[in-house]
Structure 1
Amino acid sequence: MNQIKKLLIIGFVWPEPNSSAAGGRMMQLISIFKENGFEITFASAALDSDFMVDLSELGVAKKSIELNAVSFDDFVTELNPDIVLFDRFMIEEQFGWRVTEKCPKAIRILDTEDLHCLRTARQKAFKENRKFEITDLFSEEVAKREIASILRCDLSLIISEFEMNVLTDHFRINTDLLFYLPFLVDKMSKENLLKLPSFQDRRNFVFIGNFLHEPNWNTVQYLKEAIWPSIRKEFPEAVLEVYGAYPSQKVLQLHQPKSGFYIKGRAEDANEVVEKARVVLAPIRFGAGLKGKLLEAMQCGTPSVTTTIGSEAMHSNLPWNGFIEDDVFEFAKKAAVLYQDENLWKQAQKNGISIINECYQKSDYSDRLMPIVDSLLLDSESHRLHNFMGNLLQHHAYRSTMYMSKWIEAKNKS
C-alpha cells in the first residue's frame, strides 16, 4: 500500500473564497492536492474570521500557529510533511527557515498569488503620475525579498503568463523553479448560457471586489469620480451596484442613489450578484496577477468592460468578452453600448466561454503539475543541487531572518 503523502499549507489568512480571488485560488489548490490523495493540514497565524471556509467539511485539518514561536518547530516536526506550501512570500520568509531546519527533506512550494513587487511598483508609478517601467522593479525592496523567496523554494506557482515572462526574462529565474498555474475552472458550453439569466432578465452595471485590496478601492474611486459621470451622460438611467467585502467608512460614503451609484457591501453570493447584472465594470489602473472578478464574470455569462491592466494575461489572443479601454470617455461609451446592444452582448458572452475553455481548464494544468510534484518528491536532492542561488540564499539570507525571529521569540518570553 502506498504511503499517504502529507501536505502542510501555511496560510497568510484562513481561506475566504467568497471574499477574494485569493481565497478562491487557495480552494483550487486544496482541491488539486485532495484529488491526488494528499492528507492536508492548513495552518495559519491569522485570527479566525466570520467568513472563513469550514476546512473540516473538506477533510482538511486546521491548525492555529504562532509567529516567532518555537511551538511551530514542535508542530512541524511532529507532522513531518512531505510538502509545505507557503501562501505568499511573506509566509515563506517567516516560516521557511523553520521548515528547512526541522523538515529538510520536505518539498517547499510557494504560491505567489501575484507578484507583489509588480503590484507595488505599478502602484508607486501611478501615485507619482508617471508611466510604469519594468526597470522600476529592480529598485523595489519587496522585489529583492520576493525573488529571494522564489529562489529558496523548490517550486513557485505563478498565476500570470506576464509574470512568468517578468521572472524569466528580467530576473533570469530558471524555469525549473516555476510553474504557470492560472485560475482553474470547469469547461463551459454554449448550452450553459441557456441556464443563466437572459439579456432581458438582467439589470444594472456591477463592480465586485475585496476592499482590503488597494487596487479595488482605487477602482471604485475612479468609477465614482470619472467613469460613472461619463456613463450617466451616455445613459442617464444607468445604475451601478458596488459590492465588496470589508468596506470602510470612506467606501460607504460614496453611496449616492440620486446618481445611480449604490454601495452594497459584502455579497453573500458573488455568483448570484454577477449573474443578475448585465455588465461588469472594472477600470483597474494598477495591480498584478489575474483578476478573479473578470473570470467570474465570464463564468456567469456577464460581459465586462475593463482596462489593459485588468485584462493583462487573461485572454491569450482571444477576443475579450466585452471591451478593453483605457480612455475614460471611450470606456463610458463602450459600457453604454454593451449594456444596450443585445447582439453585441451575446457575442461578448460567447467570447467569455472561449476564453474559459482555452485558458483556464483545471485538468490541463493539474495533470501537468502533479508529475512535477512527484518528481520533486522522488529526487529533491538533484533539483536542489542545480539551484545554486537558492542554496546560497538558504545559507546566508535565512540566518538574518532566523536570528531576528529568535530575538523576537526571546523578547516575548521576557
Structure 2
Amino acid sequence: MYKTLKLRFRNWKLKKKLTKQNVLFFEEDLVFKPVNVLLIDEIIPEFNKDSGSRRLSEIIKLLLKNDVGVFLLADKKLYRYNSDYINFYKKLGVIVYEPKIYKGKLLTKEDFIKLISPQLNYAWLHRPKVFKRFSNFIKSSNSKTQVIYDMCDFHYVRLLREYEQNKNEETKIEAERNLISEIESCKAADIIFAITDEDKQKVLEHYDNKDKIKVISNVHQPNEKSSSFNEFSKRSNILFIGNFRHKPNIDAVIYLHEKIMPIIWKSHPEIIVDVVGSYPTDNVKTLHSDNFKIHGFVDDVSSYFNSSRIFFAPLRYGAGIKGKIGQSLEYNLPLVTTDVGAEGFDFGNYSEVLIANNAQELAEKVITLYFDQSLWNSVSDYSKTILEPFSLESIETTLLGTIN
C-alpha cells in the first residue's frame, strides 16, 4: 500500500513538472509505416555498454533500413524515465516513448501502447520479465498483433550453469522457476527468437515447437585490416571486456585474477591485464593493480582492441551468444575462451588452440597465443570466416523472413 501511494505521489509530481514545462504529446507525431514494430526492453538499449543492447540497436537499424516503423519503449518507472540514449534512437527515426502530458493527463506506457496498437503488426518483447509484463496487455489491445518473445539467452541454462559452479541451492531454485516462466512465455508467444542454435535446441527439450523458434543472433561485421591495424610486435597486454551488471562477467574476472593470472605471472610477470566494462562492482574494483587494471566504462574501446595482444574471456557460466567474442573477432584480435564463451561460434580447426575449460589449460593457451606470432597471425586472419554467419546480410535475411 505504501509503495503504491509513493508511486502515485511521484507520478503526480512528474505530471506537475511536465505540465509546467509544457512537455506535450501530439498524436500527429506518431508516424506509421505499412509494417510497424513496437520494441520493449527493460531499458533504452545502451548500445555501447552491453551486448544485448548492441544487438537490439543493430536490429532496429535493419528494420528502419527496410522501411519498417519502429516504436521503442523501456519498462522503467515513469519518474525514472530518462536516458542519454533516447535522442540517439530518435535521430535514427525511431518513435521513442517518453512521459508527456496528453489531453491534460500523464501519458503512461500503457496509454502509448493503446494509441499505437491499431497500427501495430508486431510487439518485440525483449527478455522474460518484459514478455510476462506486457504480452497479455498488447494482445488485449489488438489481438492481431503478433507477439514476439526475444529470449536474449535461455536464462534457465545460464542459472543452471551458475549453480554447477557455486552449488547454491537458491540458484538452482531460481533456475527452475525461470524454466517454468520461460516455457510459459514460449507457449504464449506467436514467434520466439533464440540467440543461438544451441539455445534453440535446449528450448526444444522443454517445448517442442521448432517452427515457432527462429534464431536471430548478434550482428558482427569484421573490420578490414588497414594500415592502422597494429601488427603482432606492436601489441601487448590481455584484454577483457564485459558489463558488470551481468554476473558471469564478475565471476570471469575474479576467476581470471585469482586462478589463471597467477599461473601466467609465474613465468611472465610482465603481462598486464586490462579490464574494461560498465558498472564494475566493488569486488571487481578491489582487484585493480599495476598489472591488473580495472578501467570501468570506456566509450570508444577501439584503442584497446587495436593495442592488445589477445582477448581473453574465461567465462565459467552463461548462455546464448557472447558479444565480447564477436567484438574481438570484428577487430581481428585473437582470443582464448571456454566452451561457454565459444557457444554459437565455429572456430573450425582453431578450436583446440583457442578453447579450454580449466585454469591450467587456459593459462597455457594464453601463453602460447601471446608469444606465437605465426599462430597469432593465422587466427587473426581467420576471424572474418568465423563471423560470416553474423553478417548484416545473414541476419537481415532471417529478420525479414519473419517481419514481413
Question: Which TM-score applies when normalising by structure 1?
Answer: 0.81
2:150 corresponds to 1:111: yes
In 2 relative to 1, CA 139–323 (structure 1 residues): closer, same or farther, beyond 3 Å?
closer
Identity over aligned pairs, percent: 26
1:363 equivalent to 2:360? Answer no
Query: What letter corresponds to residue 399 of structure 2 in structure 1?
Result: L
Report the alpha carbon displacement of residue 201 of structure 1 after superposing the two structures with TM.
2.1
Runs (4 or more) in structure 1 with deviation over 4 Å come to 50-53, 136-139
Deviations 1:99-153 (A, max 9, x none): 01011111111211111111111112211189x9xxx899701111011112211
1:95 matched to 2:134: yes
Shift, 1:313, TM fit: 2.2
The residue type equivalent to 1:268 in the other structure is: D
Q: 1:50 to 1:371 in 2, by over 3 A?
A: closer
Larger relative contact order (C-alpha < 8 A, sep ≥ 6)?
1
- TM-score between both structures, scaled by the size of structure 2: 0.83
Match of 1:311 in 2: 342
Secondary structure, counterpart of 1:305 in structure 2:
strand
| Residue of structure 2 equivalent to 1:16 | 46
Structure 1: where are the runs of 5+ without partners? Answer: 375-414
Q: Distance in 1 between matches of 2:341 and 2:317?
A: 8
Aligned length: 361
Aligned equivalent of 1:276: 307
User: Are residue 157 (structure 1) and residue 157 (structure 2) matched?
Assistant: no
After superposition, the C-alpha distances for 1:160-212 in whole angstroms (9 at most, x for unaligned) are 111111122x1133112110122123366xx5365522112222111110000
Counterpart check, 1:82 vs 2:121:
yes
**Is structure 2 residue 235 aligned with structure 1 residue 235?**
no
Question: What RMSD in Å do the two structures reach over aligned CA positions?
Answer: 2.6
Q: How does 1:320-335 map to 2 (within 5 A)?
A: 320=351, 323-335=354-366
Give the counterpart of 1:263 among 283, 289, 294: 294
Residue range with higher mean Cα deviation, 56-65 or 225-234: 56-65
2:40–2:126 Cα contact (<8 Å) kept:
yes
Give 1:363 shift.
1.2
**Cα distance change on mapping 1:3 and 1:327 into 2, 3 Å:** closer
* Structure 2 contact 183–207 (Cα < 8 Å) conserved: no
Larger mean Cα displacement after TM superposition, 240-249 or 172-181: 172-181
Give the equivalent residue in structure 1 for 2:211: 176
One-letter amino acid of the structure 1 residue matched with residue 60 of structure 2: I
Question: 1:23-42 to 2 correspondence within 5 Å?
Answer: 23-42=53-72
Q: Which stretch of structure 1 is more off in the superposition, 57-66 or 215-224?
A: 57-66
8 Å contact kept, 2:275–2:295: yes
Q: Tell me how far apart the structure 2 counterparts of residues 265 and 349 of structure 1 sit (CA, whole Å).
A: 26
Q: What is the rounded CA distance, in whole Å, between the counterparts of 1:32 and 1:125 in structure 2?
A: 38
Equivalents in 2 of 1:51, 1:233: separation in Å?
Answer: 44
Cross-structure match for 1:285 = 316
Query: Compared with structure 1, are the counterparts of its residues 302 and 122 closer, same or farther at alpha carbon in structure 2 (3 Å cutoff)?
Result: same
State whether residues 234 and 332 of structure 1, in contact with CA within 8 Å, keep that contact through their aligned partners in structure 2: no
Corresponding position: 1:212 with 2:245: yes
Name the residue aligned to 1:126. Answer: 165
Q: Flag structure 2 segments of 5+ consecutive residues without an equivalent.
A: 1-31, 101-105
Report what 1:294 is aligned to: 325
Separation (CA, whole Å) in 2 of partners of 1:341 and 1:316: 18
Q: 1:112 to 1:251 in 2, by over 3 A?
A: same
Q: Distance in 2 between matches of 1:52 and 1:276?
A: 32
Instruction: Classify 1:77/1:51 alpha carbon distance in 2 versus 1 (closer, same or farther; 3 Å).
Output: closer
> 1:334-413 residue pairs with structure 2 within 5 A?
334-357=365-388, 359-374=389-404
Which residue in 1 is equivalent to 2:92? 58
Conserved? CA contact 2:195–2:217, under 8 Å: yes
Residues 45 and 64 in structure 1, CA contact (< 8 A), matched pair in contact too = no
* Matching residue of 1:396: none
